[in-house]
A and B are shown apart, each in its own frame.
Chain A
Amino acid sequence: MRFEYKVEGGDFTQAGYAASQVKKSLKQLGVDSSVIKRVVVALYEAEVNIVAHAYRGVIYADIESSGIKLKLVDEGPGIPDITRAMTKGFSTASPAVREMGFGAGMGLPNISENADSLLIETEVGKGTTLNIEIRF
């Protein structure tokens, strides 16, 4: 089962849509609720990262019998220093984004804590791709 969602940079009104849709599908499939929670956290954070930092992106969610593979491909500024970006509390979010309660430097750490595997490919000036896997 494959889902695809487009995400526009800066459009917080739609942030969380993909996470909400995937959650509904996993519930219908009877996936364990503790696993669903981990998927939801990881996907929501990754989705918000595209909205907060990139120009646009596409989310691919592949649900298989053994788990879920999420691939989030964005066109954006890229991440110059992944180690810093993974540090709790480090953020490059704008003041406006922070005022909304986003950009607290918890997104990537939250993804990492909830995923069974996380692979980040990034090129400064071009964009970032996140590959997240969570097993059922």
Chain B
Amino acid sequence: MKVKDIAQKMNLKVYSCEDALDNIVTGGYSSDLLSDVMGHSKEGQLWITLQTHKNIIGVASLRDLSAIILVKGFTPDLETIKLSESENIPILGSDLDAFELCGELYQLLK
């Protein structure tokens, strides 16, 4: 499944990097600790978090994640959006909290 399919099915906002919505999604990882994501996420996963600063793009890019979904209506910092465009990591968003969002996403991806 592609990032854009998930964005459409879950009615997610797209904050940046519409060009990379064809990235293939292999699964998901939910954490707000950057070292946890750095150490344990896998290539192609969607990252569900409430962190909005630009370091999330660094981590997502280094781990080759497919996209980031911000929960609870959090919005990305301007610097984060700029970096996401250059690193081809789309940032999406939802008003759901992480528990609800992961539940829906799990149903879609299982």
Which A positions have Cβ atoms within 8 angstroms of B? 12-13, 15-16, 19-20, 23, 37, 40-41, 44-45, 48, 100-102, 104, 106-107, 110, 113-114
> Does the CB pair A110–B39 fall under 8 Å?
yes
Please tell me if B100 contacts chain A, counting CB pairs below 8 Å: no
> Does the CB pair B34–A100 fall under 8 Å?
yes
Contact partner, B53, options A12, A19, A37, A114, Cβ 8 Å: A12
Q: What residue in chain B is nearest A104 (Cβ atoms)?
A: B33
Q: How large is the interface on B (under 10, 10 to 19, 20 to 34, 35 or more residues)?
A: 20 to 34
> Does the CB pair A13–B79 fall under 8 Å?
yes
> Does the CB pair B79–A44 fall under 8 Å?
no
Contacts known (A106-B33, A106-B39); A101 close to B51, Cβ less than 8 A: yes
Other CB < 8 Å A-B pairs besides A104-B34, A113-B39, 12 of them? Answer: A12-B55, A13-B79, A20-B61, A40-B62, A41-B39, A44-B59, A45-B38, A101-B51, A102-B34, A102-B35, A106-B35, A110-B35
Q: How far is the CA of A68 from the CA of B36 in the complex (A)?
A: 24
Q: How far is the CB of B43 from chain A (nearest CB, A)?
A: 8
Contact partner, A100, options B36, B43, B53, B62, Cβ 8 Å: B53
Closest 10 CB pairs of A and B: A16-B58, A106-B35, A110-B39, A104-B33, A101-B34, A101-B51, A40-B62, A101-B32, A101-B33, A104-B35
> Does the CB pair B61–A104 fall under 8 Å?
no
Q: How far is the CB of A115 from chain B (nearest CB, A)?
A: 12
14 A-B residue pairs with Cβ-Cβ distance under 8 Å, sorted by A, are A13-B79, A15-B55, A15-B58, A40-B62, A41-B39, A44-B59, A45-B38, A48-B35, A101-B49, A101-B51, A101-B56, A102-B34, A104-B36, A106-B35
